Chains A and B, each alone.
Chain A
Amino acid sequence: MADIVMECRNLWKIYGNITAVKDVSLEIKEGDIKLIFGPSGSGKSTFLRCLAMLTTPTKGDVFLRGECLTRHGVNLNKARARIGFVFQLIWLFHHLNALGNVELGLRRVLKLPKEEARKRAMEALKAVRMEEWANHYPAQLSGGQQQRVGIARALAKNPDIILLDEPTSALDPELTGEVIDTLRDLAKEGITMLIVTHEMPFAREVADEMIFFDQGTIVERGLPELFFTNPSSDRARRFMARLIKRTRREE
């Protein structure tokens, strides 16, 4: 049995009187690729941020390789260094070129010497096929290229897991394609990933498990086949029908 990389137990996130994440438990094993999908505003992003401890959960625990991150006094910087995060709106550092974006964490967090950081950053850029663009600044790149640099930035530190929050939803279909290709490459490498996405053909191809999220909680989960053939919850069935229709239209 493969090791559990990341786990959360009874996770809650409450803002005032809004419950963004409601009692979610999840286990992700080494090499797993799990996909989360569901309507906007259903708390998917918040959930991902809680896992990365970019926002503190109100209740419940997050574990990274068995180490509890929600316990008091944990060095969160160290923990975050082992979790890759890819943002919906990309969020590259504007003042650094592609290489600088990938290098920053290697130099300042992992404290690698300059040469080695450069080498590893270039390898990460190569993995997303962006090595020729290393000296370009974010504003000089297309959205798809930017997001690939964003993936390289998360990948370069050899994280235990990469969390991707709708990595393609800010991109047009063509650019989405190149990012999805990149993710497919990562999937082949066996990288553990939790991805929020609505790219259904991709989901069907790579997902070990799909998780339907609504109103802050997991409504239904299972193999992709389950969702494509016969989801048991009404809500998931209706949502899938709409997604599949949209995907066909795009094709």
Chain B
Amino acid sequence: MDFITEYFPLIIEGFLVTVQVTFFGAIMGLVLGTLLAIGDLYGGKIISTIIKFYVEFFRGSALVAQLFIFYFSIPTMLKIIPIPFITGLIVFALNSAAYQKGYIKGAMESVYEDQMTAALSLGLSKAQAIRYVVLPQAMRIVIPPWGNEFCSLAKSSAALLTIGVRDLTSAGKSIASWTWRVLEVYPFIALIYLLWISVVMKFLDILYNKVKIPGIEITV
């Protein structure tokens, strides 16, 4: 396993790229997904229809195709030179938002009606009611599905190598082609994914239990 020491910097570099794209993609997806969920629930028919098309597109087409559209098609149209990492991040955020919108909307609907009415009765505006009453409860419910989304995003990040991002899988591919140690390199790369995702899952588990509302078991 001396390739590990030899190419350590390359592996770390690739790992950090994967972590960054996944992490920031998931966070940006969360913010955008929340806005989409709010827009879908309260924005009226037109906004809701636009959001539906958006979601259908990102859920219904291949991730690699989406990467190509944002890396080749759109930049050609706009006559700009795309940066692989930034393009990857944008596509991951947009793609993840489409999925996360579904989870968040479902969670918001599960706390929606009575809590909203009670909040309005205090004189809170609808926006305040969403901010202080609906979302804090919905976000707790959404943690487990969010974990799944993070997990799938982390693994999909390997698709980034198709637009030339030097991510973890791409690093592995390079090392394998230089050393011909395919038997060791790819399982080792897979192991890094596994360890990293396990750590994040454990962390989300702790977070979920920490923010659990005392006295109730939230069942998802």
**Which residues from chain A sit less than 8 Å from chain B, CB to CB?**
52, 54, 77-83, 85, 87, 89, 91-95, 97, 104-105, 108-109, 136-140, 153-154, 157
Contact = CB atoms under 8 A, between A and B. Distances in A.
Contacts of B128: 108-109
Interface stretch (B19-27, B55-63, B169-177, B208-216): B208-216
Contacts of A81: 122-123
B66 interface: no
A137 B115 contact: no
A77 B117 CA distance: 12
A95 B136 CA distance: 7
A80 B123 contact: yes
Nearest to A86: B121
A79 B123 CA distance: 7
Interface of B: 111, 114-115, 117-125, 128, 132-133, 136-137, 140, 213-216
Contact of B117 (A78, A83, A91, A95): A91
Contact of B123 (A93, A105, A137): A105
A136 B213 CA distance: 11
Nearest to A150: B118
Given A104-B133, A105-B123, 13 more contacts: A77-B123, A80-B122, A80-B123, A91-B118, A92-B118, A93-B119, A94-B213, A104-B122, A104-B132, A108-B132, A136-B214, A137-B213, A139-B214
A235 B24 CA distance: 66
Contact of B114 (A89, A108, A157): A89
Contacts of A82: 123
B122 A157 contact: yes
Nearest to B133: A93
Nearest to B214: A137
A72 B114 CA distance: 26
Nearest 10 A/B pairs, CB to CB: A81-B123, A139-B215, A105-B122, A85-B121, A91-B118, A140-B215, A109-B123, A139-B216, A137-B214, A80-B123
Contacts of B123: 77-82, 105, 109, 157
Contacts of A157: 122-123
B124 A105 contact: yes
Nearest to B122: A105
Contacts of A104: 119, 122, 124, 132-133
Contacts of B216: 94, 137, 139
Contacts of A85: 121
A94 B115 contact: yes
Given A91-B114, A94-B216, A139-B216, A109 B137 contact: no
Contact of B115 (A79, A91, A105, A154): A91
18 contacts: A52-B121, A77-B124, A77-B125, A85-B121, A93-B115, A94-B216, A95-B136, A95-B140, A95-B213, A97-B214, A104-B133, A105-B122, A108-B132, A109-B124, A109-B128, A136-B214, A136-B215, A137-B214
Contacts of B137: 93-95
A20 B20 CA distance: 57
Contacts of B125: 77
A138 B123 CA distance: 21
A79 B125 CA distance: 11
A87 B118 contact: yes
Nearest to B121: A85
Given A77-B123, A78-B123, A81-B123, A54 B117 contact: yes
A232 B92 CA distance: 72
Contact of B120 (A54, A136, A137): A54
Contacts of A153: 122
Nearest to B113: A91
Nearest to A85: B121
Most-contacted residue by chain B among A91, A94, A104, A105 (CB, 10 A): A94
A160 to B, nearest CB: 12
Most-contacted residue by chain B among A83, A104, A138, A139 (CB, 10 A): A104
B22 to A, nearest CB: 28
A129 B213 CA distance: 24
A140 B214 contact: yes
A94 B140 CA distance: 11
A51 to B, nearest CB: 11
Contacts of B115: 91, 93-94
A109 B123 CA distance: 6
